[in-house]
Chains A and B, each alone.
Chain A
Amino acid sequence: MNAPANTPKFYDCRDAFAATLEALAVTDDRIVAVCNDSVGSSKLGGFKSKFPDRLVNVGIAEQNMVGVSAGLANGGRLPFVCAAAPFLTGRSLEQIKADISYSNANVKLVGISSGMAYGELGPTHHSIEDFAWTRVLPNLPVIAPCDRIETAAAVQWAASYDGPCFLRLSRVGVPDLLPEGHKFELGKANLLRDGSDVTLIANGTLTHRMLKAAEILAERGIQARVLNLATVRPIDEDAIIAAAEETGAIVTAEEHSIFGGLGSAVAEVVVDNAPVPMKRLGVPGVYAPTGSAEFLLDEFGMAPSAIADAAQMLIKRK
């Protein structure tokens, strides 16, 4: 008998974000969506038609957008600020620092189309610095969900959390990885697959590639642990230290520069607590060529087979 075809359905996490926000807004009239002429790209069309008065569109003005959101929170509203990640974080970084993080304003920053989701549009539109920019800021949890289920859970969590956060969302399709009903817990990694030879750590669009890499490694007789680390800050030190001590080698992969992102955050924990060989996969400090996000991830060594190869090489250094 033939094995069942394993072709999972891929989902755009923006849909889960928008649907969850709309559902929450029905019962919580504090919720407002703030955007910068980004109703379409943030999938706020449904929100706009259901709650037209609660859609605050500031036009193409990101610094003002973030400042306005801090003021909305001061006035008791619960703003979700939706904008393309490179401009939300880069254009208004000082506003995020002073008005949101330092003021501890109850504002949810939602970076849409992060990483290389705008691959073909070129490096100005790639958001591969946002982990580095945001994770140094106190009071600001940094979260990159791996699928539609975790996205919905993270949005629900954000609405109930009394403080600011940065949600990093892509538009590149990903399969379901976490079980329906999964509850988001800040700063907790999810063990998606256990193993003792090496640990693969990722979040966002890379988690499912890590799982595929683990399958390839299993075919080669290597048992890889896979951790989904949606929360980059505060980071799950316990899970990382256990991974280092129990598997002896760690590979990270991210749709981000290898400088200052998830891999750097994991490396900081490892070097402080349980030094083991590591390999950080990501964009190696260059501006990317033209191509789709999927193409660029492959181009930068993050095809599942390439991740598996990197893990296999790393194990030799144990």
Chain B
Amino acid sequence: MDIIELERVAREIRLRDLQAVFEAGAGHIGGEMSVIDILTALYFRVLNVWPDQAKHPDRDRFVLSKGHTACALYVTLAKRGFIPEEEISTFLQPHSRLNGHPNCNKVPGVETNTGPLGHGLPVAVGMAKAAKLSGAKYQTYVITGDGEMQEGSNWEALMAAAQFGLDNLTLIVDHNRFQQGASLADTNNVAPLRPKLEAFGWDVTEINGNSMDEIVPALEYRGSRPHGIVAHTNKGHGISFMQDRVDWHHKVPSKEQYDIAVAELSEAL
């Protein structure tokens, strides 16, 4: 899929995500909007995956460590054919398999359960290490939030990835500069991330994480060390009144706000 098509799909995913969160009355819409461009590039350009064989041993692995943005993943998986698109309307409903954080035993395409922060990168390190042990050729990708990088387990994993020589591992940090309660800078500022990752033995690329032109080549980069992508994004990207506002971490739009957001995203389609 070319860049123009990817941009169109990302806008469709944004719109469906907005609708799902509005209808469910819950979700993490800010962080979903910031990460959707990267998810789109992964599932519609980069990942070798087969929706009809979700557990194919040669599939590339993807872990959404920032699991609270599960709705964006569900919409992406549905659009890619892993689950029925109409199932998105069950998001957060009783007995739906689409709960607020992804479950690998219920939802095809989800590789490991996430939700508590700081879990995805260690698991991804294990996936990449497994490929090294077995000679498998798959690539492992993991997305963390920037606030999530405050968890110590991530730094344990960063060290291990370099020590193990995992050139088949790509970490994307969704650097939208906001966490749940405040800005990253006002909480525990892990930025700048690039020198820290480099000091831990990683190759690092810094990109505009809401620009397909920059996302795709960064995801396709292959070097000799684990690769970290510091993706500068905007929380609430694509919706004017949400953008870069901490209060949209898990706020649900009013009907009036919803209509404005739908109009903005539809206009961009």
Contact = CB atoms under 8 A, between A and B. Distances in A.
Given A70-B126, A74-B123, A75-B136, A105 B112 contact: yes
A63 B156 contact: yes
B113 A103 contact: yes
A257 interface: no
A240 to B, nearest CB: 30
A70 B123 contact: yes
Interface string B94-115: 0000000001110000011111
Contacts of A59: 156, 159-160, 163
Interface stretch (A94-102, A229-237, A243-251): A94-102
A94 B117 CA distance: 10
A104 B105 CA distance: 8
A14 B185 CA distance: 48
A72 B104 CA distance: 15
B153 interface: yes
A74 B129 contact: no
A98 B129 contact: no
Contacts of B104: 103
Contact of B116 (A58, A70, A98): A98
B134 interface: yes
B160 A64 contact: yes
Contact of A61 (B61, B116, B140, B160): B160
B58 to A, nearest CB: 11
Contacts of A66: 122
Given A103-B112, A105-B112, A63 B153 contact: yes
B72 interface: no
Scoring B114, B122, B125 by chain A CB atoms within 10 A of each residue's CB, the highest score goes to B122
Nearest to B55: A74
Given A63-B118, A95-B122, A98-B114, A74 B156 contact: no
Interface in A65-100: 66-77, 79, 94-95, 98-99
B27 to A, nearest CB: 20
Contact of B125 (A71, A73, A79, A95): A71
A71 B126 CA distance: 4
B90 to A, nearest CB: 20
Contact of A54 (B114, B123, B127, B133): B133
A54 B129 CA distance: 10
B82 to A, nearest CB: 16
Contacts of A94: 116, 119
Interface in B115-148: 115-116, 118-119, 121-131, 133-134, 136, 140
Interface residues of A, number: 30
Nearest to A74: B127
- For chain B, the bracket of interface size reads 35 or more
A75 B131 contact: yes
B130 A74 contact: yes
A180 interface: no
A226 interface: no
A219 interface: no
A74 B126 contact: yes
Nearest to B154: A64
A32 interface: yes
Contacts of B57: 76
Contact of B156 (A61, A70, A79): A61
Contacts of B131: 75
State the 8 A-B residue pairs at the shortest beta-carbon distance, nearest first: A71-B126, A75-B130, A67-B122, A64-B156, A61-B156, A68-B126, A71-B127, A63-B153
Given A74-B61, A98-B113, A102-B113, A58 B156 contact: yes
Given A61-B159, A98-B114, A67 B133 contact: no
Contacts of B119: 67, 94-95, 98-99
B204 interface: no
B152 interface: yes
A75 B134 contact: yes
A71 B114 CA distance: 12
A94 B112 CA distance: 14
Scoring A54, A59, A73, A74 by chain B CB atoms within 10 A of each residue's CB, the highest score goes to A74
B20 interface: no
A272 interface: no
A198 B91 CA distance: 54
A106 to B, nearest CB: 12
A75 B130 CA distance: 5
A56 interface: yes
Contact of A71 (B112, B115, B118): B112
Contacts of A98: 113-116, 119
Nearest to A67: B122
Interface string A43-70: 0000000000110101101011011111
